[in-house]
Amino acid sequence: MERLRSLIRDVPDFPRPGIVFKDITLLLGDRIAFTAAVSALAEPYRDAGVDIVAGIESRGFILGGAVADRLGAGFALVRKEGRLPSTRISQAYSLEYGEAVIEMHADAIKPGERVLIVDDLLATGGTAGAAGALVDRLGGDIVGFAFLIELSALGGSAALGGRPYTALLRTNTDGGIA
């Protein structure tokens, strides 16, 4: 965990003033840290009978694809609006200013499949909550949510509908990673 923590870079004022962006590219590029992160993300769900991992664009694709492989599960894409080619369902959610929309293919998940939702970071929970709503609408059974980082002060876990979630690293009150 110490190695993971040291490989997450804070980038102040990106992509907008006032946001401290948690840049995980150094972690992804480190073969020991990347393998350890994927193992730790997958571990709590090893015996959960996960059929399919739903990864949120774009860093959730990288981590979620690797977690799916580790769990012997399939992979479903949760993408930003307008990027999926076939018949899709959409879910809007609130941002600080305005709205965003994410989508899944209508046939990405079969009713009753056990789904693990993966993203790099939980902030306000809007994105992950909307991904959960898409999986619910497709009839998937959400086993849990797995994140690398939780910005705890934002209380985003409240948006996850009381379902299980795990985060490998949590920020403390001064914005550093605890």
Residues 88-127 that bind ligand AMP (CB under 6 A): 119-127
CA distance 80 to 58: 9
Q: Concatenated DSSP letters for 119-173?
A: EEEESSSHHHHHHHHHHHHTT-EEEEEEEEEE-GGG-GGGGGTT--EEEEEEB-T
Exactly one of 9, 81, 96, 163 is catalytic; name it.
96
14: left (phi over 0), alpha (psi -120 to 50) or beta: beta
Q: Is 150 a catalytic residue?
A: no
Exactly one of 57, 59, 79, 88 is catalytic; name it.
59
Q: Is 56 in the site for ligand AMP (CB under 6 A)?
A: yes
Q: Is 148 in the site for ligand AMP (CB under 6 A)?
A: no
Q: Is 22 in the site for ligand AMP (CB under 6 A)?
A: yes
CA distance 29 to 32: 9
Q: Is 113 a catalytic residue?
A: no
CA distance 52 to 138: 13
Per-residue contact string for residues 2-21; x = within reach of ligand AMP by CB under 6 A? -----------------xxx
Q: Which is nearer to ligand AMP, 87 or 97 (CB)?
A: 97
Please, what is the minimum distance in Å from the beta carbon of residue 49 to ligand AMP? 26
Q: Is 152 in the site for ligand AMP (CB under 6 A)?
A: no
**How many residues of this chain bind ligand AMP (CB under 6 A)?**
17
Block residue for tokens 């929309």: 101
CA distance 54 to 12: 29
Q: Is 70 in the site for ligand AMP (CB under 6 A)?
A: no
Please, what is the minimum distance in Å from the beta carbon of residue 124 to ligand AMP? 3
What are the tokens at 177? 């990673």
List interacting residues with ligand AMP (CB under 6 A).
19-22, 56, 59, 119-128, 156
Catalytic residues: 59, 96
